[in-house]
Structure 1
């Protein structure tokens, strides 16, 4: 789930690490900013999941509508911008490298839709599962930073991710939403 919801972050990280151009301090800013931005996403998702625990158990499967709708929106945007009409607006001063707050803000803005995916999954995971998800996700941020740094030195890989990530993301989001809806028995589908 982390990989799919953050596939576009790998491209952004590669861009940020490319701007850091091997300077350790600038690279540290990228890592710290990524952790701050993703930490905010994770905190909002956990708070949302705990709040969702106040819902009746029969309502929880319907939270699968969030990733389903986000997947449909992502598919719509992928189709709408299929000719490359969208600009990420990601501009930082290449001389100094990206700042911590710039990376954090871009990570948060780019990953804000992840909250809609994480909340329903976290809600159904229970306390122990929530701890496992949070731990794995925080470890994956480090892996993502390492991968972004590697991709910064391989422009063809970053270009491929940029090209196909917008197609993979909607498919997986829709899949996650359908799994939550079906496994939860929403709409009388299946109470497996």
Structure 2
């Protein structure tokens, strides 16, 4: 069981979290040059993913913290954060990156986006966890938590590549709100929230 479960866990994580690399890159770009922001982003990513994992594990054991009808409304979190980021970008328009007073992303902001973006992850993880049993579920959880660090490293790596960093430095304050609002709208529409 060991190696094949690890391989399956790696594949499942990669497929369900590929969009997180873009979001992480935007967060790392926003926090570039700000003391402690990388730690806050990593902590937020772990906190948000731990929430996803906790809900999926609990659901695999039969508990249901989030009724299916509530999951689409998680889209309100990135939507609200995107609108807040857009408001801040508009308020600070015309200022250089160095003049913007932001201290980089907050732990709970990153965690909220990660958790809200994980509604589909939960839906995929629950049946896998149920069939994997307790031992397999433990392997999945450990592999997923290791891969969160890899994802954070990849997000930071992309955000610091000169060509990408230049684009994100110039346009990140616009791209992050757009991505968050789009993500929020996608979650709301895909889940049929508000009759959409």
Same fold per superposition (TM over 0.5): yes
CA deviations 1:108-160 (Å, max 9, x no partner) are 1111211000000010001110000000000000000000000112429x9xx
**When the two structures are superposed, what TM-score results if normalisation uses the length of structure 2?**
0.59
After superposition, residues 56-95 of structure 1 pair within 5 angstroms as 89=82, 91=85, 95=102
1:29 corresponds to: 40
Any unmatched runs of 5+ in structure 2? 1-11, 69-78, 89-99, 169-178, 184-196
Alpha-carbon distance in structure 2 between the residues aligned to 1:112 and 1:32: 19
- For this pair of structures, how many residues does the alignment match? 131
Secondary structure of the 1:98 match is: coil
2:21 corresponds to: 10
1:47 corresponds to: 58
Residues 44 and 110 of structure 2 are in contact (CA less than 8 Å); yes or no, is this contact kept in structure 1? yes
Check if 1:141 corresponds to 2:148. Answer: yes
CA displacement at 1:49 relative to structure 2:
0.7
Residues 25 and 156 of structure 2 are in contact (CA less than 8 Å); yes or no, is this contact kept in structure 1? yes
**When the two structures are superposed, what TM-score results if normalisation uses the length of structure 1?**
0.60
1:80 corresponds to: none
CA RMSD of aligned residues (A): 3.2
Q: Which stretches of structure 1, 4 residues or longer, exceed 3 Å deviation after superposition?
A: none
1:189 corresponds to: none
Alpha-carbon distance in structure 1 between the residues aligned to 2:82 and 2:117: 11
